[in-house]
C-alpha cells in the first residue's frame, strides 16, 4: 500500500495542472450540453414509446392514479430540464396529449354512466 502511495505521489507531482482557457472552457461546456441534450432526447423517446404502448392502461387509471403518475412524470421532467436545459420538450407534449385523451374518455364514460342511470 505504501508503494502505491509513493508511486501515486511521484506521478501526480510530475503532472502540472493547467487551467483551461476561456475558449476551451466554453467549447467543453457546449460539448457537454450537446451530449446532455442528446441523452435527454433519447430518454424522452424511450419514455414516450412506453407511454404510447400502454395508452389503454393509462386510460383505465383512476383520477388518483393519474395524479400520481403525473407527479412522477413532472419530477422526471424537472430533472431532465435541469440536466439538459432543452428549448422544448417532446415528452411534456406527449403527456399533455395523453391527459387530454384521458379527460375526454373520462368525461364520455361519466356521461354514459349518467345516461344509463337516468334511463334505468
Whole-number mean pLDDT of the chain?
A: 76
Question: In this model, does residue 48 exceed pLDDT 70?
Answer: yes
Buried b vs exposed e over 18-46: b needs ≥16 C-beta within 10 Å?
A: eeeeeeeeeeeeeeeeeeeeeebbebbee
Residue boundaries of the structural domains of the chain = 34-119
pTM of the model: 0.53
pLDDT in tens, 100-112: 888 888 888 888 8
**Per-residue confidence (pLDDT) for residue 82, from 0 to 100:** 81
Look at 1-5, 18-22, 103-107 and tell me which has the smallest mean pLDDT: 1-5
pLDDT in tens, 79-99: 887 877 777 777 888 888 888
Amino acid at each position: 500500500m505504501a508503494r502505491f502511495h509513493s508511486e501515486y505521489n511521484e506521478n501526480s507531482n510530475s503532472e502540472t495542472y493547467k487551467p483551461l482557457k476561456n475558449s476551451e472552457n466554453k467549447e467543453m461546456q457546449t460539448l457537454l450540453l450537446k451530449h446532455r441534450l442528446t441523452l435527454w432526447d433519447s430518454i424522452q423517446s424511450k419514455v414516450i414509446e412506453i407511454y404510447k404502448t400502454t395508452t389503454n392502461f393509462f386510460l383505465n387509471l383512476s383520477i388518483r392514479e393519474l395524479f400520481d403518475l403525473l407527479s412522477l412524470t413532472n419530477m422526471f421532467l424537472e430533472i431532465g430540464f435541469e440536466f439538459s436545459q432543452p428549448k422544448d420538450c417532446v415528452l411534456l407534449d406527449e403527456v399533455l396529449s395523453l391527459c387530454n385523451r384521458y379527460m375526454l374518455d373520462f368525461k364520455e364514460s361519466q356521461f354514459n354512466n349518467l345516461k344509463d342511470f337516468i334511463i334505468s
